[in-house]
Structure 1
Amino acid sequence: MRPAGLREVQRARADGRWAAAYDPPSTATVPDDLADALAHNEKAAAFFATLDSRNRFAILHRIADAKKPETRARRIAKFVDMLARREKLY
């Protein structure tokens, strides 16, 4: 990384942006609202359990990236429906 990038990382760590960034794929966890939605749809939950890390993280990141609660809820509903049809993103 170049000096300008390192300075920006230091600023992000100092002001909290670094800690607030999304979880990396290796530590990403299923949020409670998605877990609840999956608990109410056996087909979706079963297929979600078979996803590889790439597809799993893609869904988790898109949900975590939602700015508004209604957007997050809409995305969760969309992904649960998609998973129930045994569809994946990649």
Structure 2
Amino acid sequence: MATTAFFATGFLAAAAFFATGFLAAAAFFATGFLAAAAFFATGFLAAAAFFGAAAFLAAAGFFAAAAFLAAGFFAVAICFSFT
């Protein structure tokens, strides 16, 4: 009886040890995955904002170039109209 009680308490202690270890590992991995997901989500948002800003700058550049060319064409047209 003493040996069975010894083994029973040993198994219970081992089971509790492994169960808490698995719970701790699961919590560790879960927080790691959440942190990684948050990291990638913010990275994607930053990349989207970066590309959005680049597209806006490109659009502004195209508008500026178009306005520059239009002004140039108007200036040329005025010069030819006076000659």
TM-score (norm 1): 0.21
Higher helix share: 2
Instruction: Point out the structure with max Rg over C-alpha.
Output: 2
Q: What TM-score results when the alignment is normalised by the length of structure 2? A: 0.22
Larger relative contact order (C-alpha < 8 A, sep ≥ 6)?
Answer: 1
